[in-house]
Each structure stands twice: as C-alpha cells, then as structure tokens.
Amino acid sequence: MELPVPPDVVRAAYAELVVTDLAEARRFYVDLLGFAVSAESDTALYLRGYDELIHHNLILRAGPEAAAARLAYRVRTAADLDRAEAFFAALGSRTARVPAGVTPGVGEAVRAEDPLGFTVEFFFEADWAERLQQRYDLRRGAEPARLDHFNIVVSDVRAAYEYYTSLGFGLSETIEDDQTLYAAWMFRKQTVHDMAFTGGDGPRLHHLGFFTHESHQVLRICDILGSRHAEAHIERGPGRHGVSNAFYVYLRDPDGHRVELYTSDYYTGDPGHPVLRWSVRDPRRRDFWGHPVVPSWYSEASTVLDLDGRPCPLLARQQTAEQAAEVGADGYTRLSAEPLDRQLAR
Ligand SMILES: [Fe+2]
C-alpha cells in the first residue's frame, strides 16, 4: 500500500500517565526524582526536565486505574498535523483533532489509535517554558534533563518496526537472530532512539526514558532512594546497557509505571548511520556487564488507553512455544546456574 507522506516528527515530547494518587505521584516525581513543575491543578501535574523548553515532558493525571493515556510527538510544522491525519486515515486508524489549549501548554493536536494499539499525539505549537538549565539552585534528585524516549511492549516487533519505518523513523540498534527480530531501537532526533520495542503481550507501555547529563545523577537517585528507605522503587540496575551504551537505572513509580533514568548514548544523525545488530545470544546486549535481567522487567508493563480513555485489550506475543520457554521476552538471559567456565568460554 502506498501511504501518504508521514508527518515530520521531531522527537518524543511528552507522555500522559494516569496515576491513582496524585499526592503520592508528586512526592515520587517532584520531591524524589526532582522534576520541575510547569503547572498543576487538583487533578493533574505537568512536569519537565531542567533542559526542557516546551511546557512539559510528563502529565500525571489522577484517575481510578493506573494507565498510560498517550504518547506525544512534536512535529516540525503546523502542516504536519494535516499529514498526520491523512497518514493515519490511510492506515485505517481512528483519529481526532484536539483544539489548542485542551492540553495546557500545547496547541492544536492530532491524536490517533495507531496500528499497534497505542494512542499517539502529534502537535506543533507549544508554550515555551522558563529556561531552567542553569538554575542549579533548584535541582534535586536525579536532576532529569528532558524526556529521551518511549519503550513499548508489542506482540509483533517486526510489525512495529515496519510501521515506525513508514512513519519516517531510522533504525539504530536491534536484538535479533536469523529468524526473529526480538527488539528494535528507532529514532527521529539524532540519538539512539525516540521509540523502542520490547516483545510481549501488547499494547503496553514498558517505560519512559528520561535523560540525565551524567552517570553520577543515576547513582545519586539510587542513594537517595536508599536513604529514604524507598529502595523498593529500584527495579533494575544501575548498569551499562549493551544496546545504546547508556548508563541506566529502572525505577517503578507508586502505581508501577516504569521510569528509566538514562545517559551517555550517542549521535546517530549522519545519513546512512550504520545499524548495530546484537545477537540474542550475547549476554551483554541488555546489560554490558552481563547482569541478568529481573523477570518483572520482562513481564510487567502499563496498560494503555484508547482514544476514548478505555483500556486496550492485549494481544498475545507472536512467538513459538520454544522461544517462550528458552529465551524470555527477547532472548537468552544468562542463568546464574550456568558454570563460570562455560560462561567465560562463550
Ligand atoms: Fe529505555
């Protein structure tokens, strides 16, 4: 099928999460992690990192059930809203125009239920926020700089890769073998990714990745969580990813939404940037130091909502029973029972 020209996506810009206790969420994201508050009401918080100049990177909205309401991309021009509408209409996706101001700080937007089952938003106009980059006196916690990427759980990683390719995204890294694409990292801005796919029952949001400038900020938030006896929020890491080379830690918020604090990936903006393909059998792919991935990281993720705010039904992961038994969600994870000499011989 010949698709219309896609909207010119600049970058992943913000996400809206539904949280069941806004005061608890505020303590976690603002008091502990250190996000800046752009605006707040009795029912929602609008947060951004210290480098961010658009209104927000994260909306936390109070609701009865935790969920991810939408993933929003900034586009290059106002005309890209029309392109987004035509593109998703050609895919058979339901779309909606959202007038300026419905989301505080955001102009007119187009939302769509994409072919993977996620509600995605495209906007051009946004209110500029106060520049906080050099307000070192305000910084706390992990000193998050900006939203870096979305990571989503999809039942068919190859279909997700093909759809995002049609939307104009480039491919930076993969986890694969001869038969199967287990995971892929795709970008519009000139970094490793704006979007990545993890194989599993989907659609679900796996995590939101927020950029910090330095690895010590990733370590510092772990120390702060330990000091507050809030260490249960630390799910995985800190560590070094093989894929992306990033230094990372994964946290779970009070509702179980997963947040990654992430730094030190690399430039991908040259035309023809070569793809880095990781073998699914390489134990360094998910953690460069070979640490096993905790099972919850593969199995748990956030429910996503459709355009009407209803939970999306899940599709089971496309895989053989053998893959499910042997390779987990994206491949072989080192088993601690494996003898050291065999691990070293690989
Ligand atoms: Fe990530």
In angstroms, what is the span from residue 283 Cα to ligand 1's centroid? 17
In angstroms, what is the span from residue 211 Cα to ligand 1's centroid? 10
The pair phi, psi for residue 324, each rounded to 5°, is: -60, -40
In angstroms, what is the span from residue 148 Cα to ligand 1's centroid? 8
- Model pLDDT for residues 51-106, shown as the tens digit of each residue: 999 999 999 999 999 999 999 999 999 999 999 999 999 999 999 999 999 999 99
In angstroms, what is the span from residue 294 Cα to ligand 1's centroid? 15
In angstroms, what is the span from residue 1 Cα to ligand 1's centroid? 32
**Model pTM score:** 0.94
In angstroms, what is the span from residue 239 Cα to ligand 1's centroid? 12
d(CA 37, CA 56): 8
Give the pLDDT score at 335.
Answer: 47
d(CA 66, CA 302): 8
State what percent of residues in the chain have pLDDT above 90. Answer: 89
In angstroms, what is the span from residue 82 Cα to ligand 1's centroid? 30
In angstroms, what is the span from residue 343 Cα to ligand 1's centroid? 26
3-state secondary structure 244-280: HHCEEEEEECCCCCEEEEEECCCCCCCCCCCCEEEEC
In angstroms, what is the span from residue 207 Cα to ligand 1's centroid? 7
In angstroms, what is the span from residue 310 Cα to ligand 1's centroid? 26
Q: Does 40 score more than 90 pLDDT?
A: yes
- Model pLDDT for residues 294-345, shown as the tens digit of each residue: 999 999 999 999 999 999 999 988 764 445 434 555 555 544 445 566 656 6
Give the pLDDT score at 317.
Answer: 83
Could you tell me if 74 and 123 are in contact, meaning their C-beta atoms sit under 8 angstroms apart?
yes
In angstroms, what is the span from residue 36 Cα to ligand 1's centroid? 21
Site of tokens 């059998």: 281
Could you tell me if 234 and 297 are in contact, meaning their C-beta atoms sit under 8 angstroms apart?
no
Residue 226 — very low, low, confident or very high, per pLDDT cuts 50/70/90?
A: very high
Q: Rounded mean pLDDT of 220-239?
A: 98
- Model pLDDT for residues 21-37, shown as the tens digit of each residue: 999 999 999 999 999 99
In angstroms, what is the span from residue 57 Cα to ligand 1's centroid? 15
For the chain, give the mean pLDDT.
93
In angstroms, what is the span from residue 88 Cα to ligand 1's centroid? 26
Amino acid symbol at 29: Y
Give the pLDDT score at 301.
Answer: 97
In angstroms, what is the span from residue 100 Cα to ligand 1's centroid? 30
In angstroms, what is the span from residue 44 Cα to ligand 1's centroid? 25
Q: Rounded mean pLDDT of 191-199?
A: 96
Q: Rounded mean pLDDT of 234-252?
A: 97
In angstroms, what is the span from residue 209 Cα to ligand 1's centroid? 5
In angstroms, what is the span from residue 42 Cα to ligand 1's centroid? 30
Q: Does 197 score more than 70 pLDDT?
A: yes
